[in-house]
Amino acid sequence: MKEPIHVAILDDYQHVALSMADWPLLQGKAQLTVFNDHLSDKAGVIERLQPFQIVCVMRERTPLTKEILSALPRLKLIVSTGQRNASIDIKAAEELGIELKHTGYVMTGAPEMTWALLMAAARNIVEENIHFREGGWQKGMGIDLTGKTIGIIGLGNIGSKIAKYATAFDMKVIAWSENLTPEAAEKQGASWVSKETLMRESDFVTIHMVLSHRSRGIITAADFDQMKPTAWFINTSRGPLVDEFALIDAIRTRKIAGAALDVFDQEPLPKDHPFRTMEHVLITPHIGYVTENTYGVFYQDTLEAILQWLSGQE
């Protein structure tokens, strides 16, 4: 008798996966299990995934390392949301005969989230809201964006959108990355500068790079030392792009005005992490891509990838 196909959807934090695609199409073809919690230990992940031939992962929430993949003999297909997933050992999957498929992606969520954090930081939105709800009135002064300088590290799909947003707010836009040229920067409405100049002159520094071996830790303590004491650092890309200890030190010692962060070295962020209680830190739980449109594409494409794989098994 043919073994039934079991499908796992991991890390459905918002309990929305089943409402975002036409999952009844799997009826009679596969059995679907959705996990809303997150497991961080390898042993727990391996034990949980033993029954499944298909595992669907949401971005980098659950890493699938060689050690984990090697301990899952039934696993035949991984479907990952988004166009890349640095936490999956692709080479190991190939060696083990595990197929890997990716879904489409909506590009607007991350830049919009970046700008929301920038605006909230500039106008003290969270602090003013809390103070107001506690019975207070005006507490502080906001920052005018007009005439300020924004430094964009990485001027790709997302960084270029940020440049357009900043131009609409009459900000000066400067940019840097290792491969960026003055000509390419100019096409996006930005001026190319060195990394040192960007850190030194910017009132807001925002990073938009793909996490890789080369980009990991690209923002260092030396970079924070060059920033203005009135400047804000924003990261909605990936936590490991930044030396997290150096950032914490820069905020605590008031080398910079503060940070607005949607991503972290370890996710979910531990409950005792300093960022949760530090002043001058605006944090959100990696929700830059968590939008209705994006999730609709993620889960519908996931379903289609599963159906396509299943048709090939008949």
Residues with catalytic function: 238, 267, 286
Torsion angle defined by CA atoms of residues 253, 258, 264 and 265, in that order, rounded to the nearest 10 degrees: -20
- By the 10 Å C-beta count (0-12 exposed, 13-18 middle, 19+ buried), 75 is classed as buried
Spacing of C-alpha 81 from chain mean position: 12
The residue type found at 129 is N
Cα–Cα distance for residue pair 215/217, rounded to 1 Å: 6
Contact between residue 71 and residue 44 where contact means Cβ atoms under 8 Å apart = no
